[in-house]
């Protein structure tokens, strides 16, 4: 099933979902509507599909790490850092929102969540910039610019 998905459209949807999740954070903070939480969970699910599409690269880069070019090795570390930060950011955010902690602990976890989200954004910008040639080439091909 994953082979039939277009990586370009899945990645474009993932980017839009990330933006929607980020933009919904302030509204969710004041309204307590859980839109940000729902979008964050959906972001995690779609990210798993993204990882599934790239699983061969992940597996091969792990097996051949010593023989990879320097740029590919730095991509491995960037991707690992991005994955770990997504998982930690989501876990801390979900704990801050869903667990019955005292108010001051909710605030503390919220601050940690926001700091980790900022790091996710920085790493995501680096990830996108590393793949910018592929993104623009696929956009031209798929959208016929």
Q: What is the pLDDT of residue 68?
A: 92
Q: What is the pLDDT of residue 1?
A: 45
Q: What is the pLDDT of residue 145?
A: 55
- The pTM (predicted TM-score) of the whole model is 0.83
Rounded-to-integer distance, Cα 37 and Cα 97, Å: 8
Low-confidence ranges of the chain (pLDDT < 50): 1-2
Q: What is the pLDDT of residue 29?
A: 74
pLDDT tens-digit map of 78-114: 999 999 999 999 999 989 888 888 989 988 998 999 9
Q: What is the pLDDT of residue 144?
A: 72
Three state DSSP letters for the chain: CHHHCCHHHHHHHHHHHHHHHHHHHHHHHHHCCCHHHHHHHHHHHHHHHHHHHCHHHHHHHHHCHHHCCHHHHHHHHHHHHHHHHHHHHHHHHHHHHHCCCCHHHHHHHHHHHHHHHHHHHHHHHHHHHHCHHHHHHHHHHHHCC
In contact, 82 and 123? CB cutoff 8 Å: yes
């Amino acid at each position: 099933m994953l082979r039939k998905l277009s990586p370009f459209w899945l990645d474009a949807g993932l980017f839009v979902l990330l933006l929607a999740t980020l933009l919904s954070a302030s509204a969710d903070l004041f309204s307590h509507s859980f839109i940000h939480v729902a979008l964050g969970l959906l972001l995690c699910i779609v990210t798993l599909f993204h990882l599934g599409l790239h699983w061969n690269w992940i597996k091969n880069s792990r097996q051949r790490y010593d023989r990879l070019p320097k740029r590919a090795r730095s991509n491995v570390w960037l991707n690992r850092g991005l994955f770990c930060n997504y998982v930690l950011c989501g876990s801390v955010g979900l704990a801050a929102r869903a667990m019955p902690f005292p108010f001051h602990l909710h605030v503390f976890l919220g601050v940690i969540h926001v700091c980790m989200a900022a790091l996710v954004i920085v790493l995501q910008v680096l990830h996108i910039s590393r793949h910018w040639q592929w993104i623009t080439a696929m956009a031209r091909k798929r959208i016929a610019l």
